[in-house]
């Protein structure tokens, strides 16, 4: 029986694996390294975060993106976006040099068993561990608007379903959304010869400003410090103090998680969109119907409810984000998933050190944003998560001697939490 199984090999899973290996834990890390960046982002995209805020985490802090880029003869400068392809390569380099060798099989099921957990891989192997860390990224949480869900995947897809966009060359494509994924996808489509429009629910697009210089007068830094989530004291707090964020009242955390760092395009994509992409604001798809050769969209005003137009398009790409709810963690057995308490937005309740309300089951990444703040939606959050989570695993291992049986939850609180769950 292993001490820890890490399910997922993106920035969070690889960082956790590095810290766990350094702590001397026996562990396995499962998943295709950097799969979201390799398989679910079209070539030509760039990281929205600054290079210095996009590091995976090893205990010594030696395997940074800057170090990798320097070894390739490519500078990683503040204010200069890094291509997604290079970031994916960096993550695979990190995986080769830190932690255990990654097992690229997919874990299809995690269930409780005496003394811990059992995990089943896609080829049927069963492994056991005293603790599990779920670092499953964003793909289980893909969100497609209700009006589009009944259509075939040949007509409707999510922005994360594409590693390239060449299939849409010469087509007519409608992109739904007003954030970075929607706007950058639309720009790439236009630049390859696709006729493209963006439908956004907001009445205006938001654009991030060009970041202030790294070196600037002290009074400017004091007024609006740099942070991994952008300049400003509020972003600094979200970026640098996730542990303090967790101590805020739940209602406050829920409000911030729902509204902070909302949809916005990067400064470097703005001109590309404004010169080449039709943007229809205050537009919301009410109905969608398959028609010969494509889709007909019935579009209404979000604010007034009035029907605005009927659009025909070859394909719809929904760049509509992700909903990190407990119920979408379908790799967990029904019993295990049902014994996880949730917070108001439906995501699992996360206690200290990223432990769920089921002892020994830890969470990382987007699914923890309601507990630890907006940083968990970005690569930047991996550094805090990896250190804290591995400390939590070690605490759990000390408190649960090898061979001990973890009692089945006997009571519930909130939305299915076991009594006596750790906070």
Same domain? 308 vs 398: no
Q: Which residue has the tokens 């930047």?
A: 380
Label residue 417 by pLDDT band (50, 70, 90). Answer: very low
22 phi, psi to nearest 5 deg: -65, -30
Residues 324-377: pLDDT tens digits? 999 999 999 999 999 999 998 999 999 989 999 999 999 999 999 999 999 999
Q: Give the per-residue pLDDT at 406.
A: 58
Is 157:315 a contact under the CB 8 Å cutoff?
yes
Rounded Cα distance, 157 and 134, in Å: 26
Q: Which of these ranges, 48-62, 105-119, 237-251, 409-423, has the smallest mean pLDDT? A: 409-423
Identify which of 330, 322, 323, 327 has the alpha carbon closest to the alpha carbon of residue 341: 327
The answer to whether position 94 is within a domain reads: yes
Buried b (16+ CB within 10 A) or exposed e, 159-196: bbebeebeebeebbbbbbbbbbbbbbbbbbbbebebeb
- H helical segments located in 192-301: 218-223, 233-240, 242-245, 250-259, 270-274
Residues 130-169: pLDDT tens digits? 999 999 999 999 999 999 998 999 999 999 999 999 999 9
Same domain? 397 vs 303: no
Rounded Cα distance, 45 and 164, in Å: 10
Strand order in the sheet with 172-176: 156-158, 315-318, 172-176, 195-199, 278-280
Is 142:322 a contact under the CB 8 Å cutoff?
yes
| pLDDT, mean of residues 231-258 | 94
CATH number at residue 121: 3.50.50.60
Same domain? 376 vs 295: no
Identify which of 298, 300, 293 has the alpha carbon closest to the alpha carbon of residue 315: 293
Q: Give the per-residue pLDDT at 375.
A: 96
Encoded tokens for 2: 């292993």
Q: Between the CA of residue 188 and those of 177, 381, 393, what are the distances in Å?
A: 15, 28, 43
403 pLDDT above the threshold of 70: no
Same domain? 62 vs 27: yes
Same domain? 137 vs 17: yes
Same domain? 288 vs 179: yes
Residues 121-133: pLDDT tens digits? 999 999 999 999 9
Identify which of 339, 389, 335, 330 has the alpha carbon closest to the alpha carbon of residue 362: 389
Same domain? 307 vs 352: no
The answer to whether position 224 is within a domain reads: no
Domain tally for the chain? 2
The answer to whether position 244 is within a domain reads: no
Same domain? 123 vs 42: yes
Identify which of 210, 145, 148, 152 has the alpha carbon closest to the alpha carbon of residue 178: 145
Same domain? 29 vs 45: yes
Q: Give the per-residue pLDDT at 226.
A: 95
Residues 177-223: pLDDT tens digits? 999 999 999 999 999 999 999 999 999 999 999 999 999 999 999 99
Label residue 405 by pLDDT band (50, 70, 90). Answer: low
Q: Give the per-residue pLDDT at 340.
A: 96
Mean pLDDT of the chain, nearest integer: 93
* 3-state SS record for 80-143: CCCEHHHHHHHHHHHHHHCCCCCECCCEEEEEEECCEEEEEECCCCEEEEEEEEECCCCHHHEC
Residues 298-328: pLDDT tens digits? 999 999 888 889 999 999 999 999 999 999 9
**End position of a domain, from candidates 287, 302, 318:** 318
**End position of a domain, from candidates 302, 318, 334:** 318
The answer to whether position 223 is within a domain reads: no
Same domain? 153 vs 115: no
* SS3 label, residue 277: coil
Helix (H) or strand (E) holding 279: strand 278-280
The answer to whether position 236 is within a domain reads: no
The answer to whether position 157 is within a domain reads: yes
Is 333:109 a contact under the CB 8 Å cutoff?
yes
101 phi, psi to nearest 5 deg: -60, 135
Residues 20-61: pLDDT tens digits? 999 999 999 999 999 999 999 999 999 999 999 999 999 999
The answer to whether position 314 is within a domain reads: yes
Indicate the pTM of the whole model.
0.92
Rounded Cα distance, 382 and 376, in Å: 7
The answer to whether position 222 is within a domain reads: no
Q: Give the per-residue pLDDT at 413.
A: 39
Range of the domain at 347: 2-141+322-418
| pLDDT, mean of residues 265-274 | 95
Q: What is the C-alpha end-to-end distance of the chain, expressed in Å?
A: 26
Same domain? 162 vs 301: yes
130 phi, psi to nearest 5 deg: -80, -20
Same domain? 113 vs 191: no
């Amino acid at each position: 029986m292993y001490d820890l199984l890490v399910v997922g090999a993106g920035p969070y899973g690889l960082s956790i694996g590095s810290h766990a290996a350094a702590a001397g834990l026996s562990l396995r890390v499962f998943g295709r390294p950097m799969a979201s960046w390799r398989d679910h982002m079209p070539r030509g995209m760039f990281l929205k975060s600054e290079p210095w805020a996009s590091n995976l985490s090893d205990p010594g802090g030696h395997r940074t993106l800057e170090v990798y880029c320097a070894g390739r003869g490519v500078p990683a400068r503040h204010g200069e976006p890094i291509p997604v392809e290079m970031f994916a390569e960096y993550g695979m380099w990190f995986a080769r040099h830190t932690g255990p060798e990654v097992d690229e099989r997919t874990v299809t099921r995690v269930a409780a068993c005496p003394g811990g957990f059992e995990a089943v891989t896609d080829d049927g192997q069963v492994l056991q561990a005293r603790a599990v860390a779920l670092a499953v990224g964003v793909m289980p949480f893909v969100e497609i608007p209700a009006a589009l869900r009944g259509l075939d995947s040949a007509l409707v897809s999510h922005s994360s379903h594409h590693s390239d966009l060449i299939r849409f060359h010469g087509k007519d494509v409608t992109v739904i959304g007003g954030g970075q994924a929607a706007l950058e996808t639309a720009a790439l489509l236009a630049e390859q010869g696709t006729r493209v429009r963006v439908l956004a629910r907001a009445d205006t697009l938001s654009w991030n400003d060009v970041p202030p210089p790294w070196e600037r007068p002290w009074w400017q830094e004091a007024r609006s410090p740099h942070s991994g989530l952008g300049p400003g004291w509020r972003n600094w707090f979200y970026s640098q103090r996730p542990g303090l964020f967790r101590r805020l009242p739940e209602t406050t955390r829920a409000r911030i998680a729902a509204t902070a760092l909302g949809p916005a395009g990067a400064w470097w994509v703005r001109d590309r969109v404004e010169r080449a992409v039709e943007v229809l604001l205050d537009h919301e798809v009410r109905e969608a119907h398959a028609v010969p050769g494509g889709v007909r969209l019935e579009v209404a005003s979000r604010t007034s409810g009035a029907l605005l137009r009927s659009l025909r398009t070859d394909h719809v790409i929904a760049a509509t984000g992700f909903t990190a709810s407990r119920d979408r963690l379908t790799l967990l057995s029904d019993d295990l998933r049902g014994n996880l308490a949730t917070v108001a937005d439906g995501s699992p309740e996360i206690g200290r050190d990223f432990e769920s309300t089921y002892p020994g089951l830890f969470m990382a990444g987007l699914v923890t944003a309601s507990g630890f703040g907006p940083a968990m939606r970005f690569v930047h959050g991996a550094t805090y998560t990896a250190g804290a989570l591995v400390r939590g695993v070690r605490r759990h291992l000390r408190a649960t001697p090898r061979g001990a049986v973890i009692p089945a939850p006997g009571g519930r609180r909130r939305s299915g939490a076991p009594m006596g769950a750790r906070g």
